[in-house]
Amino acid sequence: MIIGLTGSIASGKSTVAKMMATLGLPIVDADVVARDVVEPGTVTLATIAEHFGQDILLEDGHLNREKLGNVIFHEPAKRKLLNDIMHPAIRQEMLRQRDAYIQEGHPHVVMDIPLLFESKLQHFVERILVVSVSEQVQLRRLMERNQLSEEEALARIHSQLPLSVKEKGADAVIYNNENLTNTEEQLIKILTYWGILQDK
């Protein structure tokens, strides 16, 4: 089974991904893939440099994320161009990793995709697991974790699809408002129900 794991900023999705990895499930992490596809020597990085100029590269050949971020922040057309270069490369690599795990004989693969719904990637997976949290808890965690003001934290939360909308598109939801033990119990119950884990 291909499981799509998603959530929103500060919902605890990464924590659930670690729990799933500990249970022996292979993880395809969209955030890691997004960094890998622009490593020095990749076609994607060469294409970005071709369109945005060599000065978006650091001396050691790595992408200068801060400089590129400043370029696209003020220019929507350039942001779209960057996305048009990055997204196909990320998707291709994610599918390559997914298929490699299947060929190795793994019966189940987790695809950890933060923007699963926003990017309309539901067709990549067979079941969707959403890690949800109340906005009060989400706001508090985000302010503490990233040292943000309430206004800054709310702006980041509202830039994503509301969790209530994601919950409607989910096959199962983990409510991560309490402690880790409670979260893990919910995860194990769902994976057992789906036949991924056997009843102890």
> Is position 12 annotated in a ligand binding site?
yes
- Classify residue 55 by burial, with Cβ atoms within 10 Å: 0-12, 13-18, 19+: exposed
> Is position 18 annotated in a ligand binding site?
no
Read out DSSP for the chain?
-EEEEE--TTSSHHHHHHHHHHTT--EEEHHHHHHHTTSTT-HHHHHHHHHH-GGGB-TTS-B-HHHHHHHHHS-HHHHHHHHHHHHHHHHHHHHHHHHHHHHTT-S-EEEE-TTTTTTT-GGG-SEEEEEE--HHHHHHHHHHHHT--HHHHHHHHHTS--HHHHHHT-SEEEE-SS-HHHHHHHHHHHHHHTTSS---
> Is position 14 annotated in a ligand binding site?
yes
> Is position 189 annotated in a ligand binding site?
no
> Is position 15 annotated in a ligand binding site?
yes
> Is position 120 annotated in a ligand binding site?
no
Residues placed in the known binding site for ATP: 10-15
Residues placed in the known binding site: 10-15
